[in-house]
Chains A and B, each alone.
Chain A
Amino acid sequence: MHPSKIIIAVVAVTLVAACHKIPAPLSPSPVAGNDSLDRARADSIARANAARQAEIARAQAEQDSLRAVREREQREAAQNADAMKVLAATIYYDFDKADLTEAARSLLLAKVPVLQAQPTIHLRITGHTDDRGSSEYNLALGLRRAAEAKAFLVNNGIDASRLEITSMGAEQPAVQGENEEAWSRNRRSEFAPTSGGGSQ
């Protein structure tokens, strides 16, 4: 055999081997020769391609649905956090008064749909006062503030058994200071959501 022929054969073998390793798209390129063989080969390639496409589509769908779940979860968490923020929003009062101000009413009203949407949640309402006046009487005043807030929620359809009231009077100021700025922030009712049942 002529040496050049040997080289060509080697190259051809190598090329064929290389062709097998390359995962290039299989094209049903017409190959001269037996027709049925060609068709069978083309079919096989088409099947493989279809399977590949299906695989890609499935993976894509899986990813999409995962993302959707994650997004829904994030959305719900955000809504939940907003709901909790609405539930826990503090309301404020005038000096020696338990009457609900307009601002307090709208904050309380916003709690109603949240409580209705989440019927297992209970609220502990704690009334507070500023530190002026009798610290003993302030305990009673704090309770009356919490009671006014509870009555408003009950009047707006919330079951009274889900609302517990208590008072800390002037004993737990939100901010320190002997000025109207501090006093106005201490005259308040705070709302602590608890998962249902426990009325502690």
Chain B
Amino acid sequence: MQLKQILIAAVASSALALTPAAARAQNPTVPEGVRLGLNYTLGTKPGVLVLPMDSTGGDSVRAILQRDIDYDDRATVITLDDQSARAMMPKTGDDFNYPIFAKLGVVAILRPQRSLTGITITMYDVAAKKRIQIGGFPLTDQVNSPAWRMAVHRASDEVERWIFGTPGAAATRILFSGGDKQIWVIDSDGENARKLTSVTLAMSAAWSPDATKFVFCGFTPSGSQIAVYSFITGDLHWLSGTARGLNITPAYSPDGRTIAYASGSEGGTDIMVMQEGDASPSRRITVGRGSDNTSPSFSPDGRQIAFMSGRAGHPEVYTMDADGTNPSLLTEFTYGEQAYRASPDWAPDGRRIAYESRIDGNFQIMTIDMRDRSTKQYTSDGQNEDPSWAPDSRHMVFSSTRTGPRQLWVLDAESGRMRQLTHAAGARLAAWSPILKP
């Protein structure tokens, strides 16, 4: 382990030497910030090297694969400049000089090549000195278009499944409320941000389980109401069945049939449920007795709902059965926390719930384990709020003021590593999509 670390460090610095800064700067397809991975525990993160690909879009394919694997946080991306990488290509076929790759810390070689309909990616096991996987990925859209990039992200996710047994979460998008108080969507790698709504004020977007639409809260002359936006038609429609006044924080059930949301009146704010296609009035499922109950999040099996409530005099996270029975306090008192917990989001694997908690006056991202109720704090700088899990149940997107203006950041709950997702001020209330199907 120690020996290996030193070896990789040495090789890494020679690899860096092979990468003149100027050449790197001139090549826009090699993303800045893709690291050699020396900051992380080696041995648990296998080194992966993506070979260059000749043909239109080849540089982009390589850059996207490298970045996705890096953002996935399970492998260490070994980057070489184009020239060095080309020098390591076999003269013919699969005849790699495996020992050189091994010296660089490469465990898996990924070789993208052009095919008739897109690309094939071949994976070589350096230790076994042989090809172990090959897969074809259609790339029919225009190079670098959003659909083309998403297709490459799907290839990345599949490659990660080859290496780790479970896919990555790169073929996803994230909905959020922008500084202009409209709903935006952005790719998981921070590309292709675009505005989707133009209403008075929109917030609290939540994906449908099939990711073909999302539900959100928009302000209208008859109060805040619930609307559904379809990615297929580009249309939005306002749900009937909600009362005049305050209707907020909608969420789809995992089967996509039920929408839970919070509706306010003089008697407090309670969680309601409705069937999307049904215009009949919503059914109230919480008995808040004048308190505020908001922000429902379904468990992945659809049987429970996590929500926040002020019923105990201050906001706390609770769970209840999906019909509103058996409400119970989830987050117990913890020394040093100032009894304000909010914005629960149930992880897709069901094992944890993420939330925000006020600690020393600032809000921080926390998780609670559903089996032993142990909690973990992930942030400490600035205000960190509204966590939303990625489909890999490992990464979360959240809003943070750690660098000044509120931005979206992505957190790896395993390593604690963070990256900034958005760069326009005021982004908040993010929702990470399921894996996007072609």
Contacts of B402 in A (CB 8 A): none
Shortest distance from the beta carbon of B198 to any chain A beta carbon, whole Å: 17
- A186 CB–B CB distance under 8 Å: no
Contacts of B293 in A (CB 8 A): 140
A96 to B310 Cα, complex, angstroms: 10
- A161 CB–B CB distance under 8 Å: no
> By the criterion CB–CB under 8 Å, are B315 and A166 in contact?
no
> By the criterion CB–CB under 8 Å, are B314 and A137 in contact?
no
A118 to B292 Cα, complex, angstroms: 34
> By the criterion CB–CB under 8 Å, are A96 and B340 in contact?
yes
Contacts of B428 in A (CB 8 A): 135
> By the criterion CB–CB under 8 Å, are B342 and A167 in contact?
no
Contacts between chains A and B (CB distance < 8 A), count: 84
Contacts of B34 in A (CB 8 A): none
Cross-chain contact of A166 among B223, B249, B268 (Cβ < 8 A) = B223
A140 to B246 Cα, complex, angstroms: 8
Q: With contacts A140-B264, A140-B294 known, is A133 near B342, CB below 8 A? A: yes
- B262 CB–A CB distance under 8 Å: yes
Shortest distance from the beta carbon of A188 to any chain B beta carbon, whole Å: 17
Cross-chain contact of B340 among A133, A144, A165 (Cβ < 8 A) = A133
- A151 CB–B CB distance under 8 Å: yes
Residue of A nearest to B342 (CB): A134
A144 to B289 Cα, complex, angstroms: 12
Contact mask for chain B residues 181-194; partner A; CB cutoff 8 A; 1 contact, 0 none: 10000000000000
> By the criterion CB–CB under 8 Å, are A200 and B246 in contact?
no
Cross-chain contact of A144 among B204, B269, B429 (Cβ < 8 A) = B269
Shortest distance from the beta carbon of A178 to any chain B beta carbon, whole Å: 8
Q: Which of A138-177 contact B (CB under 8 A)?
A: 139-141, 143-144, 147, 150-151, 165-167, 171
Contact mask for chain B residues 344-363; partner A; CB cutoff 8 A; 1 contact, 0 none: 00000000000010100001
> By the criterion CB–CB under 8 Å, are B358 and A137 in contact?
no
Contacts of A133 in B (CB 8 A): 315, 340, 342, 358, 363
- B295 CB–A CB distance under 8 Å: yes
Contacts of B269 in A (CB 8 A): 140, 143-144
Contacts of B315 in A (CB 8 A): 96, 133-134, 137
| B contact residues, total (Cβ < 8 Å) | 37
> By the criterion CB–CB under 8 Å, are A143 and B342 in contact?
no
> By the criterion CB–CB under 8 Å, are B264 and A137 in contact?
no
Q: Which of B404-431 contact A (CB under 8 A)?
A: 428-429
A167 to B269 Cα, complex, angstroms: 12
A94 to B340 Cα, complex, angstroms: 15
Q: With contacts A134-B315, A134-B342, A171-B181 known, is A140 near B221, CB below 8 A? A: no
Residue of B nearest to A172 (CB): B201
Shortest distance from the beta carbon of B178 to any chain A beta carbon, whole Å: 13
Q: Is chain B's interface secondary structure helix, strand, loop, or mixed overall?
A: strand
> By the criterion CB–CB under 8 Å, are A151 and B363 in contact?
no
A147 to B342 Cα, complex, angstroms: 22
Shortest distance from the beta carbon of B276 to any chain A beta carbon, whole Å: 20
Residue of B nearest to A141 (CB): B292
> By the criterion CB–CB under 8 Å, are B245 and A166 in contact?
yes
> By the criterion CB–CB under 8 Å, are B224 and A135 in contact?
no
Highest count of chain A CB atoms <10 Å: which of B203, B269, B292, B356: B292
- A136 CB–B CB distance under 8 Å: yes
Q: Which of B203-243 contact A (CB under 8 A)?
A: 203-204, 221, 223-224
> By the criterion CB–CB under 8 Å, are A137 and B292 in contact?
yes
> By the criterion CB–CB under 8 Å, are A171 and B201 in contact?
yes
Residue of A nearest to B314 (CB): A96
- B156 CB–A CB distance under 8 Å: no
Residue of B nearest to A143 (CB): B264
Contacts of B262 in A (CB 8 A): 136, 140
- B32 CB–A CB distance under 8 Å: no
- B388 CB–A CB distance under 8 Å: no
Q: With contacts A165-B266, A167-B264 known, is A137 near B308, CB below 8 A? A: yes
Cross-chain contact of A134 among B181, B221, B245, B308 (Cβ < 8 A) = B308
> By the criterion CB–CB under 8 Å, are B292 and A140 in contact?
yes
Shortest distance from the beta carbon of A34 to any chain B beta carbon, whole Å: 91
> By the criterion CB–CB under 8 Å, are B266 and A151 in contact?
yes
Contacts of A135 in B (CB 8 A): 203, 386, 428-429
A165 to B265 Cα, complex, angstroms: 8
A186 to B385 Cα, complex, angstroms: 20
Shortest distance from the beta carbon of A97 to any chain B beta carbon, whole Å: 10
Contacts of B248 in A (CB 8 A): 136, 139-140
Contacts of A136 in B (CB 8 A): 203-204, 248-249, 262, 294-295, 342-343, 429
Shortest distance from the beta carbon of A180 to any chain B beta carbon, whole Å: 11
Shortest distance from the beta carbon of A196 to any chain B beta carbon, whole Å: 19
Residue of A nearest to B246 (CB): A143
Residue of B nearest to A147 (CB): B266
Q: Which of A31-74 contact B (CB under 8 A)?
A: none
18 CB contacts below 8 A, A to B, read A132-B363, A132-B383, A133-B342, A135-B386, A135-B428, A136-B248, A136-B262, A136-B295, A136-B342, A136-B429, A140-B246, A140-B248, A143-B245, A143-B292, A150-B266, A166-B223, A171-B181, A200-B221
- 6 residue pairs, one from A and one from B, having the closest CB atoms: A140-B292, A134-B342, A140-B269, A143-B264, A147-B266, A136-B249
Chain A residues within CB distance 8 Å of chain B: 96, 132-137, 139-141, 143-144, 147, 150-151, 165-167, 171, 200
Q: A134-B342, A136-B295 are in contact. List 15 more A-B contacts (CB 8 A).
A: A134-B308, A134-B356, A136-B248, A137-B342, A139-B224, A140-B246, A140-B268, A141-B310, A143-B264, A143-B269, A144-B290, A147-B268, A167-B246, A167-B264, A171-B201
Chain B residues within CB distance 8 Å of chain A: 181, 201, 203-204, 221, 223-224, 245-246, 248-249, 262, 264-266, 268-269, 290, 292-295, 308, 310, 314-315, 340, 342-343, 356, 358, 363, 383, 385-386, 428-429
